[in-house]
Amino acid sequence: MKNISKVGSEALSSSFSFHYYYIRAMVNDSYLGLGMQDRKRVFLTWRINNIWSGGVGVKQNIYDNNDFFPRYISLRDSGITYNDFVEQPAIKSLISSLNGKSVLDLGCGTGQFAKYCIEQGASKVVGVDISKNMIERANKENKHEKIDYICTPIEDFELQNHKFDKIISSLAIHYIENYSALIKKVYGLLNENGEFIFSTEHPIVTSRKEMDNWITDKDENKLYWAVDNYQEEGKREQHWIIDGVIKYHRTISTLMNTLINNGFVLEKVIEPQSIPIGLELKPKVISEKRRPSFIIIKVRKGSFL
């Protein structure tokens, strides 16, 4: 419990940091290339959600936790993670040509994916993330004149007069409590025929309340992966780098049907395994052959709603 309250207090201090980012965004004319109307709208939405409501406990901001962040960054900087060998190759394989396309990256982290989109010819990328640590790093390491990074929770991000050709989200959606509201929002932010591609932790990973699923023998050999509490959707608390990391479990049918019911056409689903180099550099990714850690879903905005 100690760690959870610490996370809560850091969320509060980070909510004040949003202020700085939004004021900076408001005075920066190049911000998103948006008109004053849209800038005011984004700013006011953020104020309502983060200042007038007290800003605490609404959305977890684990990446601004001082114990978590440096350890997460050193893991990612190692370049030999599940992201590098399993998740990123799979999500990239689903994105059709980025040439001349506008992209929204939800939970953009340090902006690696935003930069990748520009390198692939995207005309504009907007990266949104709740964490000021992540956005600071993105602005340092993956800055580009065609990228705008915005520090705000995805749940509060709204634009009235701008839509995107592609919306991408890599491993952020399991942090979002209200999946249905998110999908409606994504639909509204996409151009007709636009693509939404996202990865999330696989429901067989998030289901069990203990979230410690490998059942091992006395010598720590992995016997099998335990799935439990599958139909009980909702909050899960996990030790991942630190205690008290909150994620949300949803069944596969909820993940898919919410998309379908909101007018998306399902195009492809991947439960990825490691690329070959991963098996050499990080032998334990072989476990992905026994059960997938991630699910990657690609849908297209239909025109019937």
Ligand X SMILES: C[S@@+](CC[C@H](N)C(=O)[O-])C[C@H]1O[C@@H](n2cnc3c(N)ncnc32)[C@H](O)[C@@H]1O
Q: Which residues bind ligand X (CB under 6 A)?
A: 59, 63, 107-109, 112-113, 128-131, 134, 153-155, 170-172, 175-176
- CB-wise, 6 or 265, nearer to ligand X? 6
- CB-wise, 172 or 296, nearer to ligand X? 172
Please report how close the Cβ of residue 35 comes to ligand X at its closest, in angstroms: 24
Listed in sequence order, the DSSP H helices in the chain are 2-27, 36-47, 68-77, 82, 88-94, 112-119, 132-141, 179-189, 203-206, 252-261, 276-281
- CB-wise, 108 or 190, nearer to ligand X? 108
Please report how close the Cβ of residue 155 comes to ligand X at its closest, in angstroms: 6
- CB-wise, 230 or 240, nearer to ligand X? 240
Residue 81 neighbours by CB under 8 Å, 6+ apart: 75, 282
Please report how close the Cβ of residue 6 comes to ligand X at its closest, in angstroms: 17
The H or E element containing residue 161 is none
- The closest of 279, 302, 248 to 86, measured between CA atoms, is 279
Give the tokens for residue 279: 């098996």
Residue 188 neighbours by CB under 8 Å, 6+ apart: none
Please report how close the Cβ of residue 260 comes to ligand X at its closest, in angstroms: 24
**Which residue, judged by CB position, is nearest to ligand X in the bound state?**
109
Are the C-beta atoms of 204 and 177 separated by less than 8 Å? Answer: no
Please report how close the Cβ of residue 55 comes to ligand X at its closest, in angstroms: 13
- CB-wise, 59 or 202, nearer to ligand X? 59
